[in-house]
Amino acid sequence: ENQGLGIQTVFEDALGKLLREPAKLTAAGRTDTGVHAEQMFAHFDCTQPIASPHDFCRRLNGILPPDIAIRRVFQVRDQAHARFDATRRQYKYFLHTRKDPFHRLTSCYYPYGTPLDLPAMNHACGILREYEDFQCFSKVETDVKTFLCRVEEAHWDTEPHRLVFTITADRFLRNMVRAIVGTMLEIGRGKRSPESLRGIIESHDRRQAGMSAPAQGLFLWQVEYPWEKILP
């Protein structure tokens, strides 16, 4: 977010200035306020060809604010869609266990003295991969047609003074990862057992899951596409 404006609004304004025509941006997905994206793809249409993508990228970065950076601009097929053509998405959630002002905006501080039970949390990750319906982790007011997601990977890892949760799936529901992390933290603190996750998922009830973890620790980390169908 940038001064209360959505990233899409800021980006479209910059594109319009550079292209000298209105531009509509379609991204691979939407993130809550405070959530970060290490990698994100988006597409837009323009009436004039971009002669030098490298120069266009450099000029676009010059217009955009410092908290948004463009890595590449490249042509795709007319029917390519940044959101619907994505086949896999990966998120990471960062949790630091020692107070650190440099991680304040990009990681969630875990202030409790008792260490989290990582084996229990990873046991819960294994249970997570057994299910496909994750309505219990979705925002209540949402217009999705299905709550089915195929989770391919979920695990917690340790780094010095930090824990990292990685989850990969074909799609995600609104608020899903933050709700999963919040529930996992309750398991790690011994407030729930890993096996209790089964009852939470099978309830299809958001109220049965834990509170959503803070937004600043979450990153959209990677988005994958069938590039042979996307590129010209």
Number of H helices, E strands in the chain: 6, 8
Dig out the tokens for 196 from the structure. 């209790």
DSSP E strands in the chain: the ranges are 26-27, 36-37, 42-43, 88-96, 108-109, 151-159, 162-169, 218-224
Alpha-carbon gap, residue 58 to 51, rounded angstroms: 13
Residues annotated catalytic, as ranges: 32
Dig out the tokens for 129 from the structure. 């991969």
Phi, psi of 43 (to 5 degrees): -125, 155
**What is the phi-psi region of residue 117: left when phi exceeds 0, alpha when psi lies from -120 to 50, beta otherwise?**
beta
Cα 161 to its chain centre, rounded Å, is: 23
Q: What is the largest CA-CA distance in the chain?
A: 59
Nearest CA to 67 out of 27, 37, 111, 29 is that of: 37
Alpha-carbon gap, residue 128 to 61, rounded angstroms: 39
